[in-house]
Amino acid sequence: MKIIISPAKKMNVDTDTYETGGLPEFIEDTRILMNTIKALPIGEAKSLWKCNDKLARLNYERFQTMDLEQALTPAVIAYEGLQYQHMAPGVFTTEELCYIAEHLYILSGFYGLLKPFDGVVPYRLEMQAKLSVNGSKDLYDFWGNRLYKALSGNDGIIINLASKEYAKCIEKYITTKDRFLTVEFGVLAEGKVRQKGTLAKMARGEMVRFMAQNRIEAPEGMKEFCGLGFSFSRELSGGDRYVFLSGAGGPDTCASLESL
């Protein structure tokens, strides 16, 4: 069983908390992307990143001086977004760290596919960025089916906790041999599940932490999740979709589970 999540835009350098486990699998492809971006005028880079002048200057300088093999931070603590704050890998036990090392993968426009302890440097490059590289029209085309192939495992189960923009680089290559299970966190409005971006990011991080703490080895174990007041909806969930609704008895369910 593999779990996929998205990266975050904000990153930090932390070479002390955990040791890195080596370089990412697709580091040579990352080097190609790095050199392509290095060659861009700052105006084009800013358009690629869709950010303000201050962030454009910061990231432009990062790329100009970038060394992919020095001052590396393990990927799982390099990202600082809400998802990672709620996952809180910095306080994981040894057993929990072993769990994510075996099951968790981070999708990245720049690195392709990351294991939690792969060493990375701060960068800015979203998967949906319109960057043409080596004849590829964009990053989806650049990475092709290679990320999916790297994820393919014996049981064929992929737990999708990534955003749509990142999940599509895997989902489009799914075969009948796979089980691609998308997890949604939202509220029920007019008969439809509405996901709120901020809360969904928080819940994805909480779910990863829950799975690590409870050593979840099969999708069915995820149904007991009740973080942030969410609870599993049997009515709205199906074979390839697990839906968790907010405010549907989540805190009470958590209390009952903790007392077992």
CA 192 to CA 186: how far, in whole Å? 9
Instruction: Tell me if residue 260 falls in helix, strand or coil.
Output: coil
Could you report the per-residue pLDDT of 94-142, keeping only the tens digit for each? 999 999 999 999 999 999 999 999 999 999 999 999 999 989 999 999 9
The pLDDT assigned to 229 comes to 94
98: DSSP letter: H
* Contact assessment for residue 221 and residue 161, using Cβ atoms and an 8 Å cutoff: no
> Which runs of E-coded beta strand occur in 44-156?
73-74, 104-108, 112-114, 119-120
CA 82 to CA 201: how far, in whole Å? 6
The pLDDT assigned to 260 comes to 29
Instruction: Tell me if residue 209 falls in helix, strand or coil.
Output: helix
The pLDDT assigned to 87 comes to 98
Integer Rg of the chain from CA: 19
Query: Who contacts 2 (Cβ-Cβ below 8 Å, separation ≥6)?
Result: 103, 105, 151, 153, 157, 158, 159
Nearest to 205 by CA among 2, 1, 58, 3: 3
- Residue with the two structure tokens 């999540």: 5
Query: Who contacts 25 (Cβ-Cβ below 8 Å, separation ≥6)?
Result: 112, 113, 115, 118, 150
CA 103 to CA 114: how far, in whole Å? 11
In single-letter form, the type of residue at position 184 comes to: E
Could you report the per-residue pLDDT of 210-231, keeping only the tens digit for each? 999 999 999 999 999 999 999 9
Could you report the per-residue pLDDT of 149-183, keeping only the tens digit for each? 999 877 899 999 999 999 999 999 999 999 999 99
CA 69 to CA 210: how far, in whole Å? 32
